[in-house]
């Protein structure tokens, strides 16, 4: 009988641990989303010039003067991802 109770509690314990892990993982990824991101001015395809640091928070587009800032996922990729900025 005792063994049956342990076997029935195991899925509940596994669920609680998995939920706690998911919540803590989600929290750390939201902190990294608020990190400073180098903004690039796109002058031509695969020709991007670093201009301004954006925080990528909010819904206001990150601009430098009248130039829209873009993110570059890797050093060899084109800068096509729009950046936002919240002061």
pLDDT digits (tens, 9 = 90+) for 10-21: 666 565 556 666
So what's the pLDDT on residue 40? 94
Asked if 53 contacts 36 with a C-beta cutoff of 8 angstroms, the reply is yes
Query: What per-residue confidence (pLDDT) applies to 23?
Result: 56
Instruction: Report how far residue 60's alpha carbon sits from residue 41's, in angstroms, rounded to the nearest whole number.
Output: 17
Please tell me the predicted confidence (pLDDT) of residue 2. Answer: 65
Supply the pLDDT for residue 16: 58
Phi-psi region of 83 (alpha: psi -120 to 50; beta: other; left: phi over 0): beta
Predicted model pTM: 0.58
Q: Which residues of the chain have pLDDT under 50?
A: 26-31
What's the confidence (pLDDT) of residue 26?
46
């Amino acid at each position: 009988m005792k063994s049956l109770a342990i076997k029935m509690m195991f899925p509940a314990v596994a669920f609680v641990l998995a939920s706690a892990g998911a919540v803590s993982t989600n929290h750390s990824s939201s902190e990294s989303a608020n990190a400073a991101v180098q903004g690039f001015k796109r002058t031509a395809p695969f020709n991007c010039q670093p201009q301004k640091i954006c925080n990528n928070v909010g819904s206001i587009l990150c601009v430098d003067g009248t130039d829209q800032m873009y993110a570059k996922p890797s050093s060899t990729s084109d800068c096509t991802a729009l950046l936002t900025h919240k002061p």
